[in-house]
Amino acid sequence: MHRLVHLVWRRFLPLLLLFGLLAAVAIPAARANDEPSLAVTQALFTRDASANEATQLDELVPGIRAELRTTVTNRTDAPIFVKISWQEVTIGAATATEQDPDEEEVLRLAGGEARSFARPVPPMPLMEPTFQATLVDQVLTSTVTACVLANPDAVDDPCPDPELAPATSVRHVLNIPIRINDLGDAPDSTNHAGVSMLAYPTIQADFPTVFAPATGTPSGPLHVDPRPFHLGPRVSLEAEADVGPDQDPRNNLVPSANRPDNDRADDGIRLDPATLKHCEPARVGALVFVAPAFKAAALEAGVTKGYLNIWLDGNRDGDWADAVECPEGSSAAVAVEHILIDAPIDLASLNPGLNPLTFTTGAVPWPDALQERPAWLRATLSLEPSTKPLTVGEVRYGDGRGLEDAQGNALRFRHGETEDYLLNRRGAATQPELQVRKVGRVVFDADLGERIAVWLIEYRNTGSAVAENVVITDAITGQNINDLLIDVQSNPEVEPTAEENRLSFAVGKLDPDTGGRIVVRTRLPATTGRATLINTATMRADATSNANASATVRIGLPAPVIVAPGSGVTCNVEVTVRGLATPGAEVRLFNASGATVGSPTTAGPNGRWQIAVTLNQGRNQLYAQARLGEQTSPRSAPLAIFVNPNLPFDPLSMVFSEEGTNTRTHPEDRRGLTATDGWFVHLRPNTTYTFSVRSCCDDAEAALTLQIRGLDPIALTDATGNGIYTGTFTTGDLAEDVAFRLAVTCGAQNTESNGLLTSFEDVQILDGRTDTPIVTATVTFYRMTTDGFSDVPLDYQDDEFQNPINPDANGRFGFTVNPRSLLVRVQADGFQPMIIRSSNGLGNFEIQDLLSVPRVAPSGEPEDGLGLIGPAYHWGPLTATLRLSPLFGGGGRYRQIIGSSGFEGSSLAIQPGSVVEFVNSDIWENELLVPRQPEASPDPRPRVDPQHGDHDHDQEVLVTTGLIPPGGSFFATFDEPGVYTIGDAENGFNTLTVLVEASAPPPGGRFQVFLPVLQR
């Protein structure tokens, strides 16, 4: 997986090394029976945006935000140093192969102490919906190795094989199946809970829905990948019908509450029960979606047909297994509840996207006496014929079960979808039932330049009757939400009104099994004395009970950011620590033992602060914490400094300053430290730089020389007598890495320290329509803090580089900065702003290389006593091509909603030259990948994995929308007719097929798709 993906994890990995003991820590003796001194476990948990609650997952459904948690435990009574190595997470077949560590951490654990690390699941690579000739299960594999170190500085020594050294080395491999299944949602009494469910009042449900071969009862249909071939505009994914993760997010069945029919994407069958006549055929409409890549691959593999099967519980006895005799004069002698048997669908005749089809059933069992009563219907679309274990006369038919082999063993369908409907729903109970869900999240809004709260309201009528006069109110406890309101985005669109201290949404009429989403964005009130905000949504309607849901977000105080100096080695005990915090907050520095270091200070109006400290010789670890009123921030990322007064120069003072700019680059080694050797420096080719370094030598005859391969030695001079030695040079083309050396002569002591100069490319900003440079853009940078509950960037302004900046005459700008904590906003008049975040968004399109290739330090690790304080990686410059899209000028446009589970619909048909508004109706940011040109053949688009950045094909294929904030929109224009597949940079399983054709309906501000009229 590409190095970019791992930045997601690094932002959440604490850069932590305890400096409490200077004495060597011996490895404790092995426990009895050679039990290991360490224990390592991993688990997968959901990430709850508002309550910070989590549920452990044994399976993962794409689109569900989740994190990997690693816990390392010292099982001895003595303190130990532990090295933890994380291998690259893989997605594919289950593996536990030996790989070089992707990230490493060294930490000290007290006796019996446990330490946990949380890492978000990395973005999933682009998985286009296409044909599977054989079933291939996707697995997320995470491998962690930990071992006890005798020497905490020996961080480059690999952990021994746990099989050879089980007492001091352990490995844990976690395999999480990735499920993109679809199952039905008709009630099933053979569920995993073992609870009988009712099909109708007093009638037990015996519909085969749950896929449970171990029970020995017929399993329901399970479709391994329904995305490329399914019923209706939408399909929701789940692991199982009644347990495990589900995109909806409620499971299709909740047996304990006798609640079936929870799949929100049953939308592909059109059947009016009023047209049914007992023992007569019926006309059924079906909407079939096919992805262009799927169609081409299936036909190439010789698969030419699909099948549609429909079952109807005509006698209302809770199953689909019956056959009834028909009265004389009927169209058939017998009517089976399998009313449509293996109706063929010619794949070659299907158009990409949605295809409305009509089918004629066999004789339908629909007794006159039962016509008004509810009845369960199942429709299954598949590439395989149905299982038909029953026979009446010459008719072989099925009972709605899934695929089976000749021996009756349950199998899985490759593709397709199963949709279950309760017909004549209003013939049962005639009462609406209101359901509302509320979540919230604190985010940083780069357009406003401040932290805000985002609230998502999901509402639905899950009852069997129309809900009349539905009204939703939204309020924040102790606040007037109207005073804090920024904006509202809703789907369907509902205009908000102010009602005292609440917001009110008059939804009006809400049909059964319908609902909507509302995203409310508010500013945060003053944080003094307030730790949380509680937002409550209330839903009411005529003749039913109200529904309420609340969400709590932590306002918190952002953790400070330590800007300078960086972590590394110095000869000075007197150091000034500088950083950023909330303006007006008191900032304190603490050492590893928690004692205050230096004098507290107050962050100024621009958030800047600085504290002068006196360090101890040897190891020092510092962290900053802010306080404002009653609020105390989390800790900052740690600053690790090793003081060695015997050094002839000060490594932390080294800097390469670019001529004519404010860009200053500090050398760092592979650990992210500015130590005494093993540096990497990213410089611009053919550019003049001034190198400067502070001398720690008291000898008046001290000599400092910078040696760069291919250039004459550069004698550094102290022109001002302040101990800062400087020299100027010009880089070459830097086509290859160039070795450099700092040589210092201090009396009889000669010291040589080595590094590499390497090139980086600029970022270029282009007009997405013409590919011409945009020279009027403004680029603003933000630094992220360590807060775990939200992303809280702070404006990064320092003398290291200018912020904001403007591109040059070629639309280019460049700098070198640690990308783990970077947020960038690009704005130009006439264009939509682009927001990119290095931790999960930057480069998910045309980034050639966000990070330089990891290299071995030129002369080994320095003997600086620092050990490893962060991930074992080497970061480099930001390089990209950013294409900005024009502002939307108004007028007609198509709207495509992005919800919590992805696109609301699999396809969208539009006219050439049309504008599509992609509306983010999710609580999280979303980034889309949009092709610049249509597919020239049924499946010509290269398999570009945006997370990997390995563009073996035309790099002009995909462009990014940047991060679309919650409640925000992105407008894209599609000029050329053809098929476009829109991808999701975070969830590679989420795609949208856009069909640009002259015959498409005109834009009306809503989805232009076929909507079935089946009453559920």
DSSP letters along 330-392, please? Answer: SS-SEEES--EEEEEEEGGGPPSEEEEEEEE-S-B---GGGTTS-EEEEEEEESSPPP--EEE
pLDDT at residue 838, rounded to an integer? 61
pLDDT over 90 for what percent of the chain? 52
Structure confidence at residue 99 as a pLDDT band (50, 70, 90): low
Give 36 or 420, the one with higher predicted confidence.
420
Answer for the pair 970, 918: CB distance below 8 angstroms, yes or no: yes
pLDDT at residue 857, rounded to an integer? 27
Does residue 173 carry a pLDDT above 70? Answer: yes
Closest CA to 826 of 968, 970, 962: 962
Does residue 648 carry a pLDDT above 60? Answer: yes
Which of 7-21, 28-42, 545-559, 588-602 is the least confident region? Answer: 7-21
pLDDT at residue 617, rounded to an integer? 87
Does residue 573 carry a pLDDT above 50? Answer: yes
Which of 111-115, 171-175, 526-530, 766-770 is the least confident region? Answer: 526-530
pLDDT at residue 426, rounded to an integer? 67
How far are the Cα atoms of 130, 874, 1011 from residue 355, in angstroms, in the given order? 17, 51, 12
Structure confidence at residue 74 as a pLDDT band (50, 70, 90): very high
pLDDT at residue 508, rounded to an integer? 94
pLDDT at residue 760, rounded to an integer? 72
pLDDT in tens, 668-718: 887 678 888 888 888 888 899 999 999 999 988 899 999 999 999 999 999
pLDDT at residue 1009, rounded to an integer? 35
pTM for this entry = 0.83
Give 217 or 54, the one with higher predicted confidence.
217
Give 995 or 635, the one with higher predicted confidence.
995
d(CA 643, CA 864): 9
pLDDT in tens, 984-1015: 988 888 999 999 999 999 986 443 333 333 33
Mean pLDDT of the chain: 82
* Element housing 287 (H / E): strand 283-290
pLDDT in tens, 603-613: 998 888 999 99
Does residue 53 carry a pLDDT above 70? Answer: no
Give 419 or 94, the one with higher predicted confidence.
419
Q: Which structure tokens are listed for 464?
A: 């069997």
Give 951 or 805, the one with higher predicted confidence.
805
Closest CA to 820 of 103, 156, 48: 103
Which of 3-12, 265-274, 303-312 is the least confident region? Answer: 3-12
Structure confidence at residue 336 as a pLDDT band (50, 70, 90): very high
**Mean pLDDT of the 793-821 span:** 65
pLDDT at residue 156, rounded to an integer? 62
d(CA 598, CA 934): 61
Q: Which structure tokens are listed for 832?
A: 């939509």
